């Protein structure tokens, strides 16, 4: 991984600032999101909030992407383009926020509930949330990249879900996407070693059905091939000597997302 940059303390500090700006904008999305608004309304909020904070929305015009945020509803895996689609009760929607500040990027996303979810929608969302947590738990100096994907794949598949292969986490810094690529499937002990100072995202896309996806004519929107539900959560992290720091960690509970008791806490307790 000679092309993977090890960030300096100052660079990590700058990434932390950009990441916290993105995290705060995502918290704002949670506060405003509800049935009856459009995904274009979300785009307007994210754009204006990012600018108000002194940042710039990284997705806007990135390789031609036409909006300031990605909004991915139900069977949309990722890269959904905001439009006049009205959010309806029962929808789930991933909102992916990336902020540029002083030349550094912070990238985070979450899946939100619009009203009461179906059992399937709740399950895939909570499996995705826990998958991210388990992937992060593998990160430490000297661990392997494959450990992250192995932990995610093992858990998600045990819960009857699938893990998208077509999209991966990525290094981040002065560029939106850098090395390394962080697969969300893998084997323990495989892959390059993680080193303190490496910065990257972990962002598992979990489907209730097949892991295969289809890209639509707009060249961005990715749908599950079987049109089953998909959910995703994402954090930007930095590897440390003792583990890792979640640079996009939120300062408070995420409204309209973190609304249920942890469904996996009971099973964990029984296993102890």
Q: Per-residue pLDDT for 270 more than 80?
A: no
Annotated binding site for substrate: 79, 177
pLDDT digits 0-9 by tens, 121-146: 999 999 999 999 999 999 999 999 99
CB of 91 closer than 8 Å to CB of 114 = yes
How many distinct helices (H) and strands (E) make up the chain? 5, 15
Look at residue 93 in the predicted model and tell me its pLDDT.
99
Average pLDDT over residues 253-259: 98
For the chain, what is the mean pLDDT?
96
| pLDDT per position as a tens digit, 194-215 | 999 999 999 999 999 999 999 9
Instruction: Give the strands of the sheet with 205-207, arranged side by side.
Output: 162-163, 205-207, 230-232
Domain at 9-271: CATH architecture: Alpha-Beta Complex (3.90)
Three-state secondary-structure class, residue 214: strand
The Cα 152–Cα 234 span in angstroms is 13
- pLDDT confidence of residue 267: 54
Annotated binding-site ranges: 79, 96, 107, 170, 177, 203, 234
What pLDDT score was predicted for residue 198?
98
Strand order across the beta sheet in which 235-239 lies: 178-182, 169-171, 199-202, 235-239, 244-246
Q: Name the 3-class secondary structure at 150.
A: helix
What is the tens place of the pLDDT at every residue in 35-71? 999 999 999 999 999 999 999 999 999 999 999 999 9
| Binding-site entries for a divalent metal cation | 96, 107, 170, 203, 234
Other C-beta atoms lying within 10 Å of the C-beta of residue 219: 10
Q: Which of 111, 130, 131, 148 is nearest to 229 (CA)?
A: 111
**Predicted model pTM:** 0.95
DSSP H or E stretch at residue 130: helix 119-137
DSSP 14-57: HHHHHHHHHHHHHHHHHHH--TT-BHHHHHHHHHHHHHHTT-EE
């Amino acid at each position: 991984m000679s092309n993977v940059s090890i960030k300096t303390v100052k660079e990590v500090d700058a990434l932390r600032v950009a990441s916290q700006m993105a995290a705060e904008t995502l918290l704002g999305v949670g506060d405003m999101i509800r049935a009856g608004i459009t995904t274009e309304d979300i785009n307007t909020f994210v754009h204006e909030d990012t600018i108000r904070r002194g940042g710039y929305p990284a997705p806007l015009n990135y390789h031609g992407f036409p909006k300031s945020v990605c909004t991915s509803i139900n069977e949309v895996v990722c890269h959904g383009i905001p439009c006049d689609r009205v959010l309806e009760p029962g929808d789930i929607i991933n909102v992916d926020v990336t902020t540029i500040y002083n030349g550094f990027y912070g990238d985070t996303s979450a899946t939100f509930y619009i009203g009461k979810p179906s059992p399937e929608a709740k399950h895939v969302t909570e499996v995705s949330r826990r998958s991210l947590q388990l992937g992060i738990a593998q990160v430490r100096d000297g661990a392997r990249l494959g450990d992250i994907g192995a932990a995610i794949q093992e858990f998600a598949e045990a819960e009857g879900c699938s893990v998208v292969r077509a999209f991966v986490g990525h290094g981040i810094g002065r560029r939106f996407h850098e090395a390394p690529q962080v697969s969300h499937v893998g084997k323990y002990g495989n892959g390059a070693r993680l080193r303190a100072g490496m910065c990257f995202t972990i962002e598992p896309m979990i489907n209730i059905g097949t892991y295969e996806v289809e890209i639509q004519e707009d060249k961005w929107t990715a749908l599950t091939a079987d049109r089953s539900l998909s959910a995703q959560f994402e954090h930007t992290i930095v590897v440390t000597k003792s583990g890792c720091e979640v640079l996009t960690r939120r300062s408070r509970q995420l409204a309209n997302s973190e609304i249920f008791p942890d469904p996996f806490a009971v099973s964990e307790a029984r296993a102890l």
